[in-house]
Chains A and B, each alone.
Chain A
């Protein structure tokens, strides 16, 4: 049942795909750390540029991930809006200067510092989100669990992630089937009814879905135990790949981003790059 998948593994020939899951995971973590910590506009712009290149190399196209990108954009907008609503002069505090451009009403002023602060927030999100999406779109789900295990996460937890990925399509299909059958019994979720009725109606679909998921879980856990899952402290992985030359290069690159990014950020003793002083 090939419906529009929101976010999944997209198999394409590219150097990014060829990297092992572990490499991509470590790279992604390093990347996230830097972009979360830093407010340094120079670092962010640099990363944005690097990110764009990686995106290009990965053969993933914007429209493959457009749905999630759209959601991220909405979230970003809301985030900015709320920051401004609650702290309209936060930029002034951070950059220890105040250049008033104009006032809207009451405490809602527009300062160059606040705008610059919002620019940085936006840049941070623009840095992280595409790389996160790229990580998911370019990593074979089969490698998720083993990658997590390799960086020290318990294989049980890793497998939980992997199983969730395995069963998402099944549950989606089940949801679709159940909701169709229930619609035929007068359960309408299309939004014509009142919110309360709609909530009640969604229970009519969720209850059977939960029951069938519980059955599924019982079957899977039995199947796993019958095949020795959890017997040893460690386990080996059929799909794990050895690190190649490119993996080491990518890991080195990740380390370089981490070091350079953080060094530049903290050079002047603060997370912010301040052009106003």
Chain B
């Protein structure tokens, strides 16, 4: 195997601004040509490990380190970030933020410009690298003309022009729709095969990364490496959930059915599982045993209905085309589709942020056309994706109270209302705290509380769980579910197939401004044609049920979800 390209020996690190270390006793060798996944929950230290490799630590984030770290045989403390960046190229999580150039070509050339490469040579290199990641037909494009997946290609090309030895991907899937995420994983795989570069992926979405083979998985928790083994052996172990990572769905399903997960099963991919006839029988038996499971909810009255809604920001482009649907009181609904499909536009129209070109929106049968944003907000709340986009007061109490200040309520009434809301949201113990003392998930609750205080009937949430690991995802979603059980109607815009499947019985699918489907979540993900058109991704449960010759994959998925929910509730209760 030769010399490792990256080698941590009993390494520890503490950020200057923090009271305790973020990394403890890290021992990790990564060899040339390897493909390694570093998994772990938020706050596990996995991103910090990445920053140690590419030189952001100690260059941009100073702190104290102990032990030894060598990158390409060099000590980062003695080298500049520039030397390190020529050994390890980094693709950051935020595809928009790292797009520096005004066009694709410029952005790819950025590193070459800094190296003072003559222009002719630079143009050639850019062209070649762009071809490698299949973006060579878009060199003139500006960032806003590209999809998330295309931006990621540009970022990748931008680090590959430097002939780096290792490519580091920091949460490459965070901002992508399911289909684009899958293509990215394929792209990383192809690039590695073509260039032989070492690849390090930092990501908590295990199943999505495993769409293509990974040699080794390193699992982190609370600043320590808790596992470092070949993929096969790793998956056969059952420690994932304890560390805030979700195991691939097909493995969970097999476990439920009583199939032991062993290395012989080849558990890395759902397509290549070596299921014995005995195993298939077990899965079928489980499927039949759980026949009664599945959700049937009573049909309530319609609360929101949208009729023939059309809208375009400019007259040439229609962002929403003749959309009609209705939502019943107490429903929990997902709105899915790729970026730019019209999901967010729809939310803006419902909230009155934009005016439709044609069509109507009814709330309780009353036309909303003449209602202002503020009037609608009394009934329909809108929560933005990132809590930092909404929080504007330093104290939790003030933040939650804000919406009431302009309503002419007495101080006493306001106090009562805020207290009640904080209790619903489980924030009452923190009522006197500053917002900055809260975790991301808690901040999210604060923003939701800031909306709930107006006592709306409907809450619309934009990507409520984006970028969250399994633990925080569960925390946020269980909270939303409890709100739903208290009678709030909840509409979520999401990319997350798990969310849609697990928490929302119904999904509305958009594609290029049109309503493509309005059906059950399980149905959506078991319809290959629909999945493809809407840039979604079928679940591995579908593939597994096919492999086990189960006649109705949709029912299989539904039973799995219901079984899991019952399982989860049992654990909690």
The reply to whether chain A is a binding partner of chain B is yes
**Which residues of B are found within 8 Å of A96, using beta-carbon distances?**
none
B113 touches A142 (CB 8 A): no
**Which residues of A are found within 8 Å of B406, using beta-carbon distances?**
186-188
**Which residues of B are found within 8 Å of A186, using beta-carbon distances?**
374, 377, 402-407, 454
A135 to B122, CA, bound (A): 28
**Which residues of B are found within 8 Å of A3, using beta-carbon distances?**
313
A184 touches B377 (CB 8 A): yes
**Which residues of B are found within 8 Å of A162, using beta-carbon distances?**
102
A262 to B53, CA, bound (A): 59
A212 to B392, CA, bound (A): 12
Interface residues of A in 1-18 (CB under 8 A from B): 1-3
Q: Which of A41-49, A221-229, A268-276 sits within the interface?
A: A221-229
Q: Which of A1, A166, A188, A234 contacts B116 (CB 8 A)?
A: A234
B94 touches A208 (CB 8 A): no
Q: Which of B70-78, B382-390, B506-514 sits within the interface?
A: B382-390
A163 within 8 A of B: yes
CB distance from B434 to the nearest CB of A (A): 14
A224 touches B100 (CB 8 A): yes
B373 touches A229 (CB 8 A): no
A180 touches B122 (CB 8 A): no
A208 to B393, CA, bound (A): 9
B159 within 8 A of A: yes
Given contacts A184-B382, A185-B403, A222-B92, contact A1 B313 (CB under 8 A): yes
CB distance from B453 to the nearest CB of A (A): 9
B388 touches A238 (CB 8 A): no
CB-CB contacts of B91-112 with A at 8 A, as 1s and 0s? Answer: 0101011101111011001111
A184 touches B81 (CB 8 A): no
Q: Which of B14-22, B54-62, B180-188, B481-489 sits within the interface?
A: B54-62
CB-CB contacts of B105-129 with A at 8 A, as 1s and 0s? Answer: 1100111111111110011001000
Given contacts A169-B144, A188-B374, A204-B392, contact A236 B101 (CB under 8 A): no
Shortest Cβ distance from B60 into A: residue:
A222
**Which residues of B are found within 8 Å of A207, using beta-carbon distances?**
391-392
Interface residues of A in 185-203 (CB under 8 A from B): 185-188, 203
B325 within 8 A of A: no
A220 to B158, CA, bound (A): 14
A187 to B89, CA, bound (A): 44
Given contacts A142-B103, A178-B389, A184-B382, contact A228 B115 (CB under 8 A): yes
A231 to B117, CA, bound (A): 13
B114 touches A208 (CB 8 A): no
B243 within 8 A of A: no
Q: Which of A182, A230, A239 contacts B392 (CB 8 A)?
A: A182
Q: How large is the interface on B (under 10, 10 to 19, 20 to 34, 35 or more residues)?
A: 35 or more
A131 to B267, CA, bound (A): 67
CB distance from B114 to the nearest CB of A (A): 4
Interface of A is mostly: helix
B335 within 8 A of A: no
A208 touches B390 (CB 8 A): yes
B82 touches A236 (CB 8 A): no
**Which residues of B are found within 8 Å of A235, using beta-carbon distances?**
113-116
CB-CB contacts of A149-188 with B at 8 A, as 1s and 0s? Answer: 0000000000000110110011000100110111111111
A182 to B388, CA, bound (A): 12
A180 to B383, CA, bound (A): 11
B351 touches A180 (CB 8 A): yes
A180 touches B97 (CB 8 A): no
A237 within 8 A of B: yes
B159 touches A227 (CB 8 A): yes
A229 touches B114 (CB 8 A): yes
A219 within 8 A of B: yes
B384 touches A177 (CB 8 A): yes
**Which residues of B are found within 8 Å of A103, using beta-carbon distances?**
none
Q: How large is the interface on A (under 10, 10 to 19, 20 to 34, 35 or more residues)?
A: 35 or more
A141 within 8 A of B: yes
**Which residues of B are found within 8 Å of A229, using beta-carbon distances?**
110, 114
A236 touches B54 (CB 8 A): no
B111 touches A228 (CB 8 A): yes
Given contacts A219-B92, A228-B111, A232-B115, contact A183 B373 (CB under 8 A): yes
Q: Which of B60, B80, B105, B351 contacts A184 (CB 8 A)?
A: B351
B334 within 8 A of A: no
**Which residues of B are found within 8 Å of A227, using beta-carbon distances?**
85, 100, 110-111, 114, 158-159, 162
Shortest Cβ distance from B380 into A: residue:
A184
A205 within 8 A of B: yes
**Which residues of B are found within 8 Å of A225, using beta-carbon distances?**
56, 59-60, 81-82, 85
**Which residues of B are found within 8 Å of A212, using beta-carbon distances?**
386, 388-389
CB-CB contacts of A115-150 with B at 8 A, as 1s and 0s? Answer: 000000000000000000000000001100000000
Given contacts A1-B313, A225-B60, A226-B85, contact A232 B392 (CB under 8 A): no
A231 touches B114 (CB 8 A): yes
B94 touches A219 (CB 8 A): yes
CB distance from B12 to the nearest CB of A (A): 22
Q: Which of A203, A216, A238 contacts B119 (CB 8 A)?
A: A238
Q: Which of B101, B118, B314 contacts A2 (CB 8 A)?
A: B314
A142 touches B106 (CB 8 A): yes
CB distance from A165 to the nearest CB of B (A): 7
**Which residues of A are found within 8 Å of B103, using beta-carbon distances?**
142, 239
B450 within 8 A of A: yes
Given contacts A184-B377, A203-B392, A228-B115, contact A223 B144 (CB under 8 A): no
Interface residues of A in 256-277 (CB under 8 A from B): none
B106 touches A238 (CB 8 A): yes
B122 touches A238 (CB 8 A): yes
Q: Which of B89, B122, B391 contacts A208 (CB 8 A)?
A: B391
B421 within 8 A of A: no
**Which residues of B are found within 8 Å of A204, using beta-carbon distances?**
392-393, 402
A182 to B383, CA, bound (A): 10
B381 within 8 A of A: yes
B97 touches A220 (CB 8 A): yes
**Which residues of B are found within 8 Å of A2, using beta-carbon distances?**
313-314
A174 to B106, CA, bound (A): 24
A184 touches B373 (CB 8 A): yes
B348 within 8 A of A: yes
Given contacts A204-B402, A232-B115, A240-B119, contact A166 B92 (CB under 8 A): no
A53 within 8 A of B: no
A223 touches B82 (CB 8 A): no
CB distance from B374 to the nearest CB of A (A): 6
CB distance from B438 to the nearest CB of A (A): 14
Residue from A181, A205, A208, A225 with most neighbouring chain B CB atoms (10 Å): A181
Interface residues of B in 218-248 (CB under 8 A from A): none
A184 touches B82 (CB 8 A): no
A219 to B92, CA, bound (A): 8
A211 within 8 A of B: yes
**Which residues of A are found within 8 Å of B162, using beta-carbon distances?**
227-228
**Which residues of A are found within 8 Å of B59, using beta-carbon distances?**
225
A187 to B81, CA, bound (A): 45
Instruction: A180-B353, A208-B391, A225-B59 are known; give 6 further A-B pairs, CB within 8 A.
Output: A3-B313, A183-B374, A186-B403, A223-B92, A227-B85, A236-B119
Show 25 A/B contacts (Cβ-Cβ < 8 Å), sorted by A: A141-B102, A166-B100, A169-B144, A180-B348, A180-B351, A181-B384, A181-B389, A183-B353, A184-B376, A184-B377, A186-B377, A186-B403, A204-B392, A220-B98, A221-B60, A225-B81, A226-B56, A226-B81, A227-B162, A228-B114, A228-B115, A235-B114, A235-B115, A238-B119, A240-B119
